[in-house]
């Protein structure tokens, strides 16, 4: 059986791809290997197993590639191109999109201009009203036609409670330099806030306000190309895409604040309320923000615990900053 290292080694070489010897940049993430070549991006899923993911088989990775293609074409149809096989030929040599025994599946995408990504524009201080108008127009059009599945409020709250319990399990480890007393207070306050907003969230669900959304709406997943592309949605667990649009927008606003642009949150919120003729209370919006910031703190802290953090101080700082954002948001919604 071909190893992951052998596949990555082949795909890191310019000879793996048709159409000339262009340089290849290989980037590793927790879940994937990404290969940048010219105007194309190829994504290979690692055979990982996580609480919500099992990519241990070739069939599971193929299915996920097709799901990622299908789901991301909703908001980035010109970016996501096709699923491509990596094959072993009769002579034992590997070939991309050739004849032979399939040993792996990759997602082929069009490479987007990095300078037009929202996180880059925030860094450059170049975000304009026109950018935000275009973003909300695209999102509002998406939310209007997105699937609105039937959701059991009880199951939804069980999932939220479970997420905060996982937060507690990860963030309770005290071996790194973060404010653990602040974390304990935050997690307890978050439990109280979830109980306090339960009725309002249940009403949103029962009114059919929840949609199958993007699920991971961060600035680095938004490119102001022509047309605008909103990509890299959360594809591996449908339950995590079942979301209130204003929860998704609160997440985006929180991430913009993390990058130093807090004003974007209020602007996008107001524009989306007008576009959808819908709104949530300021308290619920603040709860959404706090919950998302806590989840991100947990993810940052996980890098420290699993040993993948090359610069621990960087991830300690990121964890602390997300905790601070969560505490400020909870204070705004009236939590002690």
Domains in the chain, CATH or no CATH each: 4-111 (no CATH), 118-332 (3.90.1200.10)
What is the reported pLDDT for 53?
Answer: 85
Confidence (pTM):
0.94
pLDDT for 335 equals 53
Task: Please state the rounded mean pLDDT for residues 271-279.
Answer: 97
DSSP-derived letter for residue 117 is B
Give CA 211 to chain center in angstroms. 16
Helix (H, G, I), strand (E, B) or coil at 95: strand
Question: Per DSSP, what are the bridge partners of residue 42?
Answer: 35, 108
Percent residues over pLDDT 70 in the chain: 99
If you average pLDDT over residues 97-101, what whole number do you get? 91
Is residue 152 over pLDDT 90? yes
Q: How far apart are CA 154 and CA 74, in angstroms?
A: 29
């Amino acid at each position: 059986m071909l190893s992951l290292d052998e596949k990555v080694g082949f795909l890191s070489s310019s000879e793996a791809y048709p159409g000339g010897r262009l340089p290849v940049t290989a980037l590793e993430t927790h879940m994937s290997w990404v290969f940048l070549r010219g105007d194309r991006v190829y994504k290979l899923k690692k055979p990982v197993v996580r609480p919500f993911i099992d990519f241990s088989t070739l069939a599971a990775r193929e299915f996920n590639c097709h799901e990622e293609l299908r789901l991301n074409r909703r908001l980035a149809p010109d970016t996501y191109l096709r699923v491509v096989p990596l094959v072993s030929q009769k002579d034992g040599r590997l070939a991309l999109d050739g004849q032979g025994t399939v040993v792996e599946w990759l997602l082929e995408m069009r490479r987007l201009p990095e300078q037009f990504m929202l996180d880059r524009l925030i860094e450059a201080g170049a975000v304009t009203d026109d950018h935000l108008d275009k973003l909300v127009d695209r999102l509002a059009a998406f939310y209007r036609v997105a699937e609105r599945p039937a959701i059991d409020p009880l199951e939804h709250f069980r999932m939220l409670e479970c997420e905060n319990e996982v937060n507690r399990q990860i963030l309770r480890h005290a071996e790194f330099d973060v404010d653990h007393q602040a974390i304990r207070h935050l997690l307890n306050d978050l439990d109280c806030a979830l109980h306090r907003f339960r009725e309002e969230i249940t009403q949103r669900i029962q009114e059919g306000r929840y949609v199958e959304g993007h699920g991971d709406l961060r600035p680095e997943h938004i490119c102001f190309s022509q047309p605008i592309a909103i990509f890299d949605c959360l594809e591996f667990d449908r339950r995590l895409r079942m979301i209130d649009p204003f929860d998704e927008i609160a997440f985006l606003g929180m991430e913009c604040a993390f990058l130093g642009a807090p004003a974007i949150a209020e602007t996008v919120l107001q524009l989306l309320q007008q576009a959808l003729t819908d709104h949530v209370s300021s308290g619920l919006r603040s709860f959404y923000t706090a919950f998302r910031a806590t989840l991100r703190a947990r993810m940052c802290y996980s890098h420290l615990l699993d040993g993948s953090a090359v610069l621990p101080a960087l991830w300690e700082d990121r964890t602390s900053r997300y905790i601070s954002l969560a505490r400020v948001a909870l204070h705004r919604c009236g939590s002690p």
